[in-house]
Amino acid sequence: MAYDKENDRNVTIKDVAKRAEVSIATVSRILNGKDRVSPLLTERVLLAAKELQYQPNDVARALKIKESRSIGLIIPDIENPFFPALVRGVQDAAKIHNYAVILCNTDGKTDEEKKYIQFLYSKRVDGIAFTESVDNKKNIALLDSLGIPVVLLDRRVEGMKASGVSTDNRLGAFIATKHLIDQGKRRIAFISGSPKLSSGADRASGYQDALLHYSIQYDKKLAFIGSFTYESGYKAVENLLLSRHQFDAIFASNDIMAIGAIECLNQYGIRVPEDVAVVGFDDIRLATWYKPLLTTIRQPVYEMGQYAIKLLIEHITGERSSPYEKIFVPELMIRQSSGGLEEAK
């Protein structure tokens, strides 16, 4: 019943062979350019293929050679401003090697992740790039059991036999906090991301490292648990305000929480950076469009996506066999929200 299937004028290798008066093996050989074949036949076959507008059928090919030239990309949500650049990096790298990328949005739900992993396996993708959203051993184990190359994006997972790419989150958080301290701030509030994620936990560690290093007392009452969403940033500050604890700065574990935080501060008539300095994390594009311009820690997201696929493909082709952990180094982008800019002038 499907569209156009009757007058399906699909031309196969067989048709080409017939027209060029050779065997299908010969056609295949010429088209793949692996084996040598005489110039005479080559020309005839190429001509026939062009005349018939032959387009190889990759699914038959995939079945035979057990290689689909496609990879799965699992992320929580493409609408989250962090991901478009990552996805673009992935896609550009995949394109170079002629891999198709199948996009999957899980909204951070463990069972969606599982469904997609199985879905992708049924499609016999050659590899999977995975950004897990909650530290879930089960899905990691599932991935491991598939016997398919996997690379983990933006997350560290202990004891997994897969490669990974991430940013040094602990260092980034350290730098961010240090920057605030350098501005003379001493009562620095912290909004964490999901603490179950390595990225969330590591940023919390970096924050504490910096306090410790500069002999500032860590104050539990200034630390809030967020979830990497705008709303959680807003809420955190609202709670902070309600608690009436003094603070002169905020380090939020990502940019959208930082923006949520600033929006809340504004709502209560508190000025940024004059009254409270704010630093975010990620350096999404919005950070340079938002007012005040957001001081933040830059992750090279596009490059991370690219590198992940480079690694994945190396595993697929067998060029690389043992897991490798690529860690990018974060960079402080000083803008308005931390008040660091005026100082610099």
Partner DNA sequence: AAAGTCTTTGTAAACGTTTACAAGAATAAC
Partner DNA sequence: GTTATTCTTGTAAACGTTTACAAAGACTTT
Binding site for DNA (CB under 7 A): 10, 12-14, 21-26, 28-29, 31-32, 34-38, 40-41, 54, 56-57, 60-61, 63-66
Contact window for its own copies (CB under 8 A) among 33-41, 211-219, 244-252, 315-323: 315-323
- Chain-centre distance of CA 40, in angstroms? 49
| 327 contributes a contact to its own copies by CB under 8 A | no
Closest CA to 188 of 212, 218, 158: 218
Q: Of its own copies, DNA, none, which one sits near residue 34, judging by CB under 5 to 8 A according to partner kind?
A: DNA
**Binding partner selected for residue 37 from DNA, its own copies, none, CB under the kind-specific 5 to 8 Å limit:** DNA
Distance CA 67, CA 61 (A): 8
Q: Please choose, out of 57-65, 200-208, 237-245, 330-338, the segment that lies near its own copies by the rule CB under 8 A.
A: 57-65
Contact yes or no for 226/252 (Cβ under 8 A): yes
What is the rounded CA–CA span in Å between residue 146 and residue 196? Answer: 24
Residue from the set 32, 35, 50, 60 that interacts with its own copies by CB under 8 A: 60
Q: Which is nearer to its own copies, 85 or 173 (CB)?
A: 85
Q: How far apart are CA 44 and CA 141, in angstroms?
A: 52
Which residues, numbered 261-290, are part of the site for its own copies (CB under 8 A)? 285-286, 289-290
Instruction: Say which entry of DNA, its own copies, none residue 82 contacts (CB below 5 to 8 A, set by partner kind).
Output: none
From the CB of 65, what's the least distance to its own copies, in Å?
A: 9
53 Ramachandran zone, left/alpha/beta (phi>0; psi -120 to 50): left
Tell me whether residue 205 or residue 229 sits nearer to its own copies (CB atom).
229
Task: Give the other-Cβ count within 10 Å of 215's Cβ.
Answer: 6
Which of its own copies, DNA, none binds 288 (CB below 5-8 Å, type-dependent)?
Answer: none
Q: Which is nearer to DNA, 28 or 299 (CB)?
A: 28
Considering only 21, 35, 43, 77, the residue that binds its own copies (CB under 8 A) is 77
Q: Which is nearer to its own copies, 32 or 57 (CB)?
A: 57
Pick 11 or 341: Cβ nearer DNA: 11
**Identified binder of its own copies from the candidate list 11, 52, 78, 332, rule CB under 8 A:** 78
CA dihedral defined by 77, 81, 82, 84, rounded to 10 degrees?
A: 80
> Using the rule CB under 8 A, which residue among 48, 83, 167, 278 binds its own copies?
83
Binders of its own copies among residues 97 to 116 (CB under 8 A) are: 98, 100-105
How many Cα atoms occupy the beta-carbon half-sphere of 250 within 13 Å?
Answer: 37
Pick the stretch among 36-44, 56-64, 132-140, 171-179 that binds its own copies (CB under 8 A): 56-64
**Type of residue numbered 160:** M
Q: Does the protein bind its own copies through residue 291 (CB under 8 A)?
A: yes
> What CA–CA distance (Å, rounded) separates 49 from 56?
10
Considering the complex, what minimum distance in angstroms separates the CB of residue 233 from its own copies?
A: 12
Q: Which residues contact its own copies (rule: CB under 8 A)?
A: 1-5, 7-9, 55-60, 62-63, 66-68, 70, 77-79, 81, 83-85, 87-88, 91-92, 98, 100-105, 118-124, 126, 147-149, 259, 285-286, 289-291, 315-318, 321
